[in-house]
Structure 1
Amino acid sequence: SRYTFTCDNKKVSNEQVKEWLCELISAEGFAYGYLKLTYCLRRKFNLIINKKKVYRLCKELNILRPQRKIKPKHPRRLTRNRVITGSNQLWETDIKYGYIAGEDRFFFVMPIIDVFDRCIVACHIGLSCEAKDAVFALKSALFKRQLYTQQQKPVFRSDNGPQFISNLFEKTCLELGIEHERIPFKTPNLNAHIESFNAILEEECLSRYEFASYAEAYAIVADFIRFYNETRIHSATKYLPPLECYQLLKNNQVELKPVKV
């Protein structure tokens, strides 16, 4: 099946379970085989899941114990404390899962937020979210901000999901000259701005609708992101919508406090 149940009968997409597996092996579960990872998923995430399914998901991710590389191709660059003083210095991303009741399947939203001006610079919405989709979203964000050919590019911060630890994504960051930071396991506070946006997306959009189809879900989420950028005011941007704030910042017509992350 495309999902797993929790002990309180909530559906969790297999992609979310894969993300948790990647987080586990990037932390205390590095030496664990699929059986121990099964127990970790049950303990930490309250999942009802059997070892066969965990074996299959590990196999799809190429992280079964014998396949696991001792040294990853791209060692993780951990987040460090920063003071952000302008747009395009730090972008954050995280994947949000929505449910399409009419089709009994999940869809994926991967927004990229600018930590300073709070704009959603680009966003992937799709029935899957693979490394190639994450790469496309990142490139779209660079194009939208006219940074693609610029020397100075934002630091890009994510968790340890399969998209972000993939060779394709890391190689792209190297080619583009982007510093990619990955937050340690179980530290969502280090990705606080995108976590905050995803909570807004859940409360003000996803939880308000029962989507009949993927087309409907796509249209409603895309509309909400437009509304968030162009209309919804934000206390951190002096009660301006993020896009307006970004334009004013570019023209030195507004000043914001530095953001400590």
Structure 2
Amino acid sequence: MNTEVGDRLVWELMNEMSLKSRMVRKSYKKPMTTTDTPQKLNLMKNSDDLSGVLTTDITYIQLMNIDWVYLATLYDPEKRRVVSYGLSSEITKEFTTSVVVKALRANSKPKMTRSDMGSQYTSSLFEGTLQNAGIDHSYSRKGHPYDNARIESFHALIKHELIYHEEYRTIDDVRESIEWYVNWYNNERISSRIEWLQAS
């Protein structure tokens, strides 16, 4: 049963329990990347089979001095696990490719990798790395971020559960924070969720 309460009661209860709301600090306009590459193959169109598929994308993290740090993640949407990730102060094809190489070195070889049409992911370096490893590359459609919704959802989650509540001064601060979160997400958060579902 849902019960409606007023703002005053919420304030009184929070004050009684010494609780304070967390405010998300204002973010400055993030840098943008563009590509003129024509639309490439969308191999996952109308497919719900996620076995052997890893998705990848980049998200932006702002430091206190207004500089940006970039988080690139390779994510398993079927197992809901972060396979590998990387941090950089620049968005380059070498940076995004290194996240895939890291996964391959750890013997995590998917049948297919899904990305958007960003210039880093359409680069010859990134595509060549996948091709040499025998991995198919599927692209989401331009202007359709929901094609890559699972990695977008993970990045939204890590921002709301962690990043928006931290004050990062250096990339090393970000690295320490992300390392903790990924370890917790992969090893504890999902297990807790499964236990909760089983108990429901």
TM-score by length of 2: 0.76
Distance 1:136 1:195 in 2: 20
2:76 aligned partner:
114
1:97–1:147 distance in 2 versus 1, CA, 3 Å: closer
Distance 1:125 1:85 in 2: 26
1:142 to partner: Cα distance? 2.2
Distance 1:182 1:234 in 2: 31
Distance 1:123 1:180 in 2: 18
1:211 aligned partner:
168
1:234 to partner: Cα distance? 6.8
1:143 aligned partner:
105
1:26 to partner: Cα distance? 4.4
Q: How does 1:149-228 map to 2 (within 5 A)?
A: 153-228=110-185
Partner AA of 1:223 in structure 2 = W
Partner AA of 2:124 in structure 1 = N
1:239 and 2:194 correspond: yes
1:82 aligned partner:
47
> Are 1:91 and 1:155, in contact at CA under 8 Å, matched by a contact in 2?
yes
Distance 2:102 2:165 in 1: 28
Distance 1:120 1:131 in 2: 20
**Runs (4+) of structure 1 moved beyond 3 Å?**
none
State the number of aligned residues: 170
> Are 1:158 and 1:183, in contact at CA under 8 Å, matched by a contact in 2?
yes
RMSD: 2.3
> Are 1:26 and 1:185, in contact at CA under 8 Å, matched by a contact in 2?
no
1:85 to partner: Cα distance? 6.0
1:178–1:85 distance in 2 versus 1, CA, 3 Å: closer
Q: Deviations over 1:116-140 (max 9, x none)?
A: 1011000011212311122211021
Identity %: 22
1:54 aligned partner:
none
**SS at structure 1 position matched to 2:180:** helix
Q: Could you tell me which runs of 5 or more consecutive residues in structure 2 were left unpaired when the two chains were aligned.
A: 1-25, 196-200
TM-score by length of 1: 0.59
Distance 1:168 1:231 in 2: 35
Partner AA of 1:167 in structure 2 = S
Distance 1:92 1:200 in 2: 16
1:99 aligned partner:
62
1:182 to partner: Cα distance? 1.0
1:118–1:130 distance in 2 versus 1, CA, 3 Å: same
Partner AA of 2:183 in structure 1 = R
Q: Could you tell me which runs of 5 or more consecutive residues in structure 1 were left unpaired when the two chains were aligned.
A: 1-8, 28-74, 241-261
1:108 to partner: Cα distance? 0.5
Partner AA of 2:189 in structure 1 = R
Q: Deviations over 1:146-175 (max 9, x none)?
A: 245xxxx42100001121011111111111
Distance 1:147 1:176 in 2: 11
